[in-house]
Amino acid sequence: MQQISKISLSGILASLSHALDLTEGQPEGHCVRCCHIGMAIGREAGLDDAELADLYYTLLLKDLGCSTNAARICSLYLTDDRAFKRDFKRVDGSLSQALRFILNNTGMQANMAQRFGAIYKVLKDGGQISRSLIESRCQRGAQIALKMRFNQNVADAISSLDEHWDGTGQPEKLHGSAIPRLSQIALMAQVTDVFNINAGKQSAIDEIEARSGSWFDPELVATFRAATKKAEFWEQLRAEDLQHNIFALEPGELRRTVDENYLDDIADAFSQVVDAKSPYTAGHSRRVATFADMIATEIGYTEEQRRWLHRASLLHDIGKLGVSNAILDKPGKLEHEEFAAIKMHPVYSHQILDQIELFGDIASIARGHHEKLNGKGYPDALAGCDIGMDTRIVTVADIFDALTAERPYRGPMPEEQALSIMEETVGTEIDGECFSALKSVLANFNKQAA
């Protein structure tokens, strides 16, 4: 457990942005690469330091609302939401490409009747469906940005990310200068990275040029042209230490630092991103944090220990952003490969959180919250004393909430039944002291509520 002494906000967000990359099905570092691309365009465009600071955070957090529409995409298109989002970013918005994309990405694993039914619905209500999906993502992203203490400029830029210069974008069909300039730069950075990663530098340049006057302001395209003609632009974009270099792009005099309270807000904000991924996980992270705090209080944790445990609980499932809703929301039994995908989510959580030096302890808790005392858990088959008390607390809190919440395959379980099931695993799977503490605080709470 480490003390916070005004650490850099940019370092935390650059690392957490990898969770957003997972949700969008993008290669690791997408938001970080977009930050490099967008900041180069912004400097070339002559933005002042205040505008560059707003642009910097917009680029790292442009996909804050990305998990909000994942379940609907999976349901509407009968497909893997992450693959759908990844491939959709290469569609230029033309009717022919959009139609081809729908036909090639809807219900490919479903039976013929289900596939044709889904395609018919999408084609019949396509415009409204597209607007609704983009609107929910953009509006939710803007709301979370405000909760993370960013200003209205950043929120507006995230909200208008998918607007196009010619008025054909979504969700408001804003036109020309009505679109925030930061949104235009962020979208340009996104397109550049997607096409550069998939087909190379020239493909990215050609795509931006082709969208001049439709998606993008021609003057901004000229700025892009000037910025990307510099050899160092592409050299730095390919650099292995790009994430470290990103920290230097934040305007020096406006660099923001994080104190204890701000870190709490960031953890809570990203827990909302995680829980929005599935209707069955709405509020899960906050409830786990509440149950974990109740257990820790009963056991005798200090206020400082409880605060760190609260953050770990809020972020323990951040790796679920890397799992398709086709698996998370499946009502039936998971196939072997589907369960294997589920078992990767604590690994993803660890990979994301471990990039933040301050979160080393939290990363370990997130990785271990599905381990069992008998060594039959995952991902590392840890056993006994190899599982720390913090992890044991979060595990008990997580299991209790999972049992008492609604799931795709069943309704919510009564508290008494959940505790009975858990009691049978005390000593073999879950920690007895943590379980006794949970039972005690629940009994006291129910007594007071009666």
Catalytically active residues are: 320
Q: Which residues contact 428 (CB under 8 A, 6 or more apart)?
A: 372, 373, 374
Residue entry with tokens 């913090």: 390
Tokens matching residue 124: 């019949």
Per 3-state DSSP, what percentage of the chain is helix, strand, and coil (rounded to 5)? 70, 0, 30
C-alpha separations of 142 from 36, 65, 82, 301 in Å: 21, 7, 21, 36
Do 134 and 171 contact (CB within 8 A), yes or no? yes
Interior/surface letters 133-167, b for 16+ CB within 10 angstroms, e for the rest: bbbbbbbbbbbbbeebebeebbbbbbbbbbbbbbe
H or E, element range at 258? strand 257-258
Residues 58, 75: Cα–Cα separation, whole Å: 29
- The stretches of 200-217 forming alpha helices (DSSP H) are 201-210
Residues 408, 328: Cα–Cα separation, whole Å: 8
| Other CB atoms within 10 Å distance of the CB of residue 270 | 25
Do 31 and 42 contact (CB within 8 A), yes or no? no
Residues 375, 387: Cα–Cα separation, whole Å: 10
Omega cis (within 30) before 218:
no
Q: Is the dihedral of CA 345, 346, 352, 353 positive or negative?
A: positive
Alpha carbons within 13 A on the beta-carbon side of 17: 26
Alpha carbons within 13 A on the beta-carbon side of 29: 15
Tokens matching residue 193: 């990275």
Residues 368, 275: Cα–Cα separation, whole Å: 19
243 phi, psi to nearest 5 deg: -60, -40
C-alpha separations of 448 from 272, 413, 417, 443 in Å: 30, 22, 21, 9
C-alpha separations of 254 from 57, 182, 219, 327 in Å: 12, 17, 28, 42
